[in-house]
Structure 1
């Protein structure tokens, strides 16, 4: 069997980004805001995250059941304001449900004197930062693990017998049974059908095993103690 390489992709893998949008919760009112969505910051942040292929919800709105029941199915986006009298300065942090910091953007700045215009300009500047975050996740989360070749042990045949000129005969004696008989009509095996039409459960007085029929040949495999036995049957 050839060696197989498995590509394990962590949570933010190429597949997950292509097939399912990552969910991010953001606040409708951050600590530096006096009221919800002041300066239109929160709506703009939601729009920018959405345009970067994230599924975004405000943390005070009705959430999908998968998020409401388990907040670890979503990330949290936090805006940090470091503005002063001369500059509007913000950065974006993304954390998981255990408050681990997964990403912190570069601090974006605006010299606009109007506060609302300055904040709106800064939020727009976060878009390329978000793209950097997604790209870095795709690249660093790939891990290739090579598994050793699977070793299948074949049991050693202790004895091999061949029976020629045999025949199949279906009988009914309270059970549906197929018999394998030799050229003199002596019953060699009694067999019962399985879901596979070429595989039977076969038995005789001293052995029970598996019988496989292919064309005009059949193989009976069974154990006697630790001894692996094979018998071949050739049919007319």
Structure 2
């Protein structure tokens, strides 16, 4: 059985969705990042980057949410495009677009808007701009494609879904006014039973809610350099 190291952030949500869509048996092992559990030696032995999610699949360890999606898709043969060079190229291109663009810029926008220790005008401006730029590219793509790779629902849609759920928190209250095609995809995936089961995971575990000094130290250890 797959061991799934999970919390409620966007990246683990993608993996939860794939596991549910594929009908794979898995055991959830919660990792509370505000308590610093991602830094425990038992977890960093699996993921040296100390980030959630990770999976163990009969001794095979995979970390990074997009790598996990690709691993599971190739393992099961599900939610992949046709096995033709251009289709696979499109899949890899858009999956890496999410991995290297949507996720990092959205995450940094959230950090500087909501969690930075003091107002950081330059950081907010840079990452809000780049987050919007990447989401706008996705929105324009989805204006002419039903799903990210065309007519078929794939792992790339799951990768987008994980972050799209958080778009208003990332971008602001007007996110869906400006990204109607992303919202259409989000609503369509949300209606799927697997997505509803994936969302329900967050009600089964209790994670620390307070962003107190201990949580900030666990999640943002770079802040200690400011005190040196």
Shorter-chain-normalised TM-score: which range?
A: under 0.3
Relative to the length of structure 2, the TM-score reads 0.19
Q: Larger relative CO (CA 8 A, sep 6+): 1 or 2?
A: 2
Higher helix share: 2
**Higher strand fraction (1 or 2):** 1
TM-score of the two chains, using structure 1 as the length reference: 0.19
